[in-house]
Structure formats: structure tokens, C-alpha cells
Amino acid sequence: MMILKDILYKVTINAVVGSTSISVNKIEFDSRQIKKNDVFVAISGTITDGHKFIEKAIADGAIAIVCETLPKSLEEGVTYIEVANSNQALAYMAANYYQHPSENLKLIGVTGTNGKTTVTSLLYQLFKKAGYKVGLLSTVKVMVDDKTFRATHTTPDSLTINKYLKMMNDEGVEFCFMEVSSHGIHQSRTEGLKFAGGIFTNLSHDHLDYHDSFAEYRDVKKAFFDGLPKDAFALSNMDDKNGLVMLQNTVAKKYTYALKNYSDYRAQILENEFGGLLLKVNDNELWTRLIGSFNAYNILAIYGAADLLGLESEEVLRLISELENVSGRFQYFISEEKITAIVDYAHTPDALKNVLETINNIRTKNEELITIVGCGGDRDKTKRPKMAHIASALSTKVIFTSDNPRSEVPETIIEDMEKGVEPQNFKKTLSITDRKQAIKTACQMAEAKDIILIAGKGHETYQEIKGERFDFDDYKIVREFLKQLQK
């Protein structure tokens, strides 16, 4: 239980009806979770409006309501708080309720179109190897030191974030690395958190189904850096054309990293092969198992963050060479017949281009590259033809298939993709709606030494169709087919 007034500390309030000295049990923003003596926060969302469920919440025992518009009829004995922004109010209420857990550890946020999971997961590994208790909030999973929890989002809602941070406080966690998605920033999920640092990876085409324009997408990401406190660091990628934009209004201490432009943390790629990357980082040689020039940026970002967080440079260089790859990110194996199968999470045009260019830099010309790719349903439609254009231009053969169709018709998604294929590449492409069938066909087509890239789902162990999740694991399926085909 907690006094409502204390939960509302720092919340911008327009009007109060009733007493804020009442004791409430817990905070909920979903009326279906309300129990007796809870406070319900009504949020107007993308599908429905929480305000429609105020009456239901009270009937189920809510004794306080936080909302942006007071209901026409007010119930006796219920306290109503009218606020300017329910999402923001929820974030401050969540921080108050869990006693500001972000202030009791060093919280580092990573934002950008691609690389967030890779950078946060590598930082988690690095700080664990350095002997610290560490937290992780990522697309793939949540870690409270050594305990694993299922991730429902890249950036969870503010109540969930603060719940995990409080658990980390109780476990004595000193550092927490979290992904900060543009949806998360736009919905104030990270409002009220005290960040010790922010890292910008890159900005390219994604989520234009949610943001009205690329400029709005950029400005939402920039808002994260604008909100960093002056004792935090802001580490930005100077090779990204929006790298400086992210830093221009932050009061945090500014640092930069790059391979091409002058920066505080610089790297050069000395070797780039399937075995890993040999880098020169600020005049030190560094080996990493990770593959691909895009991973040079991720490695440099974690090197800079570790330095800014006080880890000793020599130790960081040694530990980075021990880091394991992140699940579903350029995860590969080579079959007995020397066919290389790569599973990667690339689901944006820039990511797909990076992965395909990496493979093309490594493979010899007589090794065919067969790419299997689809696009998520209920996501950015404008990236579909771009992904298909990139896949068909940079592969020897391409099979368009389903990713997570969600509520859309899979064939329509594939048609959207096919529109991006240039005529000279038509002969390279094939469309097979069933993803399993597409993977099997690629395995049948592949000859010894060929490479199969399965892109878009990475670590995901499900396929989302019409609101249901069916078991589906790219990596397991391709291994199985290559074994069956004795290839």
C-alpha cells in the first residue's frame, strides 16, 4: 500500500476531485488487471481508449482514477486526478511507487534503428565478465543479473521497467543496459528514469507506420538525448548523418565514436572474415568474434561506453575478444557439405544491406548467396519494396516469404515486396508464402560452399499469424533440412 499523494509526486496535475491522502494498493493501466484499492490510469492508445474502461475499473475495486478527461459522472468515494498526459503521469507514478530504482544503479539507454540489442547484450556480457552484477532490458530477453525473464517488448511499459529495476536494486545490480525504442520514447515509457548515459547507434528507415515521417522519427530519438541529465554521458555515432543532431541540445557530456570521421573513440577494420573482426581501436589492436563492418560500430560503442563507465582499457580490450555473438544476429553454422546457413534479425533496409554486403565481402564469386526474406505484418509497409530491392540486388537468388504476417494477408505483403525488384533481377527471385517451405527450397537449391541467409526473424522462436504465435525457429529448421537432405 502507498499514499496516493506520494505516488503522484512530480506528476503534472490539472484537477483533483476527492482525497489524495488515501492508501492505494497497486497501479494498473489495464482495467482487466484491476483489483480492490488499486489506482487505474486511463490511457488513450492506438487501438482503444482506456477512458472507456473507467467505470469497469471502479466496479472492480479501483479507488482512484488518473485520466486526461474527467468522466461526466463521478462516483462517491473515488478520487479522480485529471492530468495533462496519462503516459507521462504513469511513468512518474511508476518511478515513485518503486522508490526511484533507476537512481540506485547506473542505467544506460541505447537508441537507434539498428544495433540496440547487439550493443546492450554485449555490454551486459562485458560487465558480467568484469565481475559486476548487471541488468539487461532488450528485445531478446530481460536479465536481472543471472535471472532471465521473457521480453514482451524492446522497451517495456514504465511500470514493467521500474518493476525490473527495483528487482535489480534488491539483487545489488550496479549497471543496467536497456534498449530505448522510438515507440518507447514516444509513449513516455522511459520518462522519469535517471540515465547515467545514452548511446546512439544509427538512424535509417523503420517504423514509418507509427511515426508520421522520418523527421518525426529522428526527433523522437533526439528527445531521448535532450532529456539526459548533465552528469550523464551522450555517446553518438559520428558516421551517421544524424549523429550530431542527437547531441545538439543535450546537457549531458558529449562523446563521439566513428570509423570514418574524427571522434573520441576511433576504429579501423584490419580484417573482416567469417571468423570475426580484427580492429584497431584508439591505437590498440582488438579481436572480436562478431562479423561484419556494422559490428565494428557496435564494438566501438561498447568500448567507449565501458571507458566512460570507468572500466580499465586493457581489461576491456581483453574481455571484448571473449564476447559471444547475440542470439539471432549473424548466427551461423556450416553443414557437412560445406553449406553455410546464416540466421540474422535484419528486418530493415539498412540492416539487410549491411548483412548482405558483409557476406558479399567475405564470399568468393563461385559461392552462391541464397537469401530468404519477408516483412512483418502490421508494420512499416514502405520498407517492403526497399528490402526486396536490396535482397535481389545483393544476392544470387532470393526467396520472398512470410515473416510475422500478423493480421495481414501474407501474399499481399509479398506482393508489396515484389514491387521493389528491378526487372534485371526478376529471374533471381521466387515467392513461397510458407516460410518453412521457403527454407526447405533454399536448402534443396544450395550446392556445396553456397551460403543461405535467412533474414528478419533472428532469435524469434515463433511466427505471429492472426494474433496467434506458432512455434517457429529459423535456425532449428534450416539445420534440420540440411541434415535431412544430407547436405
Ligand X SMILES: Nc1ncnc2c1ncn2[C@@H]1O[C@H](COP(=O)(O)OP(=O)(O)OP(=O)(O)O)[C@@H](O)[C@H]1O
Q: Please state the closest distance from residue 139 (CB atom) to ligand UAG, in A.
A: 5
Select the span of 99-107, 125-133, 154-162, 352-360 touching ligand UAG (CB under 6 A). 154-162
Residue 219's CB is within 10 A of a number of other CB atoms, namely 16
Q: Please state the closest distance from residue 124 (CB atom) to Mg ion, in A.
A: 13
Enter the C-alpha cell of residue 40.
Answer: 487505474
CA pair distance 252, 181, nearest whole angstrom: 20
| 108-167 residues near ligand API, rule: CB under 6 A | none
Kindly report the CA angle at 149 between 143 and 150, in degrees rounded to 5?
Answer: 125
CA pair distance 352, 410, nearest whole angstrom: 20
Give the sheet arrangement for strand 197-200, strand by strand: 147-150, 141-144, 134-137, 175-179, 106-111, 197-200, 233-237, 253-258, 265-273, 276-281, 284-288
Closest CB to ligand API among residues 186, 347:
347
Select the span of 16-24, 39-47, 149-157, 265-273 touching Mg ion (CB under 5 A). 149-157
Known binding-site positions: 31, 112-118, 154-155, 181, 187, 189, 379, 403-406, 456, 460
CA pair distance 26, 6, nearest whole angstrom: 13
CA pair distance 41, 29, nearest whole angstrom: 5
First-to-last C-alpha distance (Å) of the chain: 62
Could you say whether residue 187 binds ligand X (CB under 6 A)? no
Tally the C-alpha atoms within 13 A of residue 316's C-alpha that lie toward its C-beta.
21
Known binding-site positions for ATP: 112-118
Q: What are phi and psi of 471, to 5 degrees?
A: -55, 130
CA pair distance 135, 121, nearest whole angstrom: 10
Q: Which residue of 198, 247, 458, 472 would you call a contact of ligand X, by CB under 6 A?
A: 458
Closest CB to ligand API among residues 102, 190:
190
Which of Mg ion, ligand UAG, ligand API, none does 155 bind, CB closer than 5 to 8 A by kind? Answer: ligand UAG
Could you say whether residue 139 binds ligand X (CB under 6 A)? yes
Which of ligand API, ligand X, ligand UAG, none does 373 bind, CB closer than 5 to 8 A by kind? Answer: none
Q: How far is CA 85 from CA 32, 43, 69, 105, 159, in A?
A: 21, 8, 10, 27, 16
Known binding-site positions for meso-2,6-diaminopimelate: 379, 403-406, 456, 460
Could you say whether residue 31 binds ligand UAG (CB under 6 A)? yes
Could you say whether residue 384 binds ligand API (CB under 6 A)? no
Which of ligand UAG, Mg ion, ligand API, none does 30 bind, CB closer than 5 to 8 A by kind? Answer: ligand UAG
Binding marks (x or -) toward ligand X, 320..359, rule CB under 6 A? ---------x--------------xxx---xx--xx----
Residues that bind Mg ion (CB under 5 A): 116-117, 139, 154
Residues that bind ligand API (CB under 6 A): 347, 376, 379, 403-404, 456-457, 460
Residues that bind ligand UAG (CB under 6 A): 29-32, 43, 45-48, 50, 53, 139, 153-155, 157, 181, 183-184, 187
